[in-house]
A = this chain, B = another copy of it.
Amino acid sequence: MIGQQAASIERRSGVALWRQIADQILHAIAVGDFAENAALPPEMALAERYGVNRHTVRSAIAALVQDGVLRAEQGRGTFVLSRKRLSYPIGARTRFSAGLQGQTSERHIVLLASSVEPASRRVAEALGLARGADVIRLETRGEADGHPVSRAAAWFDARRFAGIDAAMAETGSVTASLKRFGINDYLRQSTVLSARHADAADLVDLDLQPGAIVLVTIAVNVTLDGQPIQFSESRFPAERVELRLSANDQAMP
């Protein structure tokens, strides 16, 4: 199924034809079927390929123009604006910015909010704490070239990591913040990955359109001797990000 365009749509599915076509065009761009600034096939050609009326194709294109993905020029054609998806590294030594070098010109993490709360069952289990013990929650957003590429919530033991919220706000880096607590290296113990449609929160947090897909990772980081230090849930916009798992992780200084 590599390199071949399905180019088929389903009627009476509850998803409007124009949206299905818009999604397929988005996918084709992401997969590399169209280069940047390349011209899309004419509306009539697309209408024939998908077996729909030209106006339906126009609705799809209008939505993508609205999203800043395409630019339509009367008499000339419709052209691709958007760039490729970001390939986001994930593995035993995942760090936010390390693996994105060369793909974007600018990237950083923003601390949106922090709070102390009692540990839920899930968080307590992951961190090896008693249920209801105080944990610090950090809400962060990762951005690259001004576009959100991740949205995460991370939990830490409040007793051991008191003040990590301030460190995070100052340094903008989990790795740097953990160093202040004597943790110079850590590993990703486990990652559970799933995908779903974006909910209302995702639409706001990741600047998505309704119907978009988010990748969700739930992970536990541990010290080198296996002590859990961080539990986190991250969301990535599938249209802008792919996750790259690599076996040959390099150690960080």
**Interfacial residues, chain A to chain B (CB-CB below 8 A):** 1-3, 6, 8-10, 13-16, 18-20, 22-24, 27, 63, 85, 87, 90, 92, 120, 122-123, 153, 187-197, 199-201, 203, 209-211, 213, 215, 233, 235, 238, 242-248
Instruction: Report whether B203 and A10 are in contact in the complex, using a CB–CB cutoff of 8 Å.
Output: yes
Instruction: Report whether B8 and A14 are in contact in the complex, using a CB–CB cutoff of 8 Å.
Output: no
Please indicate the chain B residues that have their CB under 8 angstroms from the CB of A235 in the complex: 1
Task: Sort A-B residue pairs by CB-CB distance and give the 4 closest, nearest first.
Answer: A14-B19, A13-B210, A10-B210, A195-B195
Instruction: Give the complex CA separation of A210 and B8 in angstroms.
Output: 11
Main SS class of interface, A: mixed
Please indicate the chain B residues that have their CB under 8 angstroms from the CB of A153 in the complex: 1-2
Instruction: Give the complex CA separation of A13 and B211 in angstroms.
Output: 7
Please indicate the chain B residues that have their CB under 8 angstroms from the CB of A203 in the complex: 10
19 of the cross-chain contacts (CB-CB < 8 Å) are A1-B201, A1-B235, A8-B199, A10-B200, A10-B203, A10-B210, A13-B209, A14-B210, A90-B193, A92-B247, A187-B247, A191-B244, A191-B246, A192-B245, A193-B242, A193-B244, A193-B245, A194-B242, A195-B215
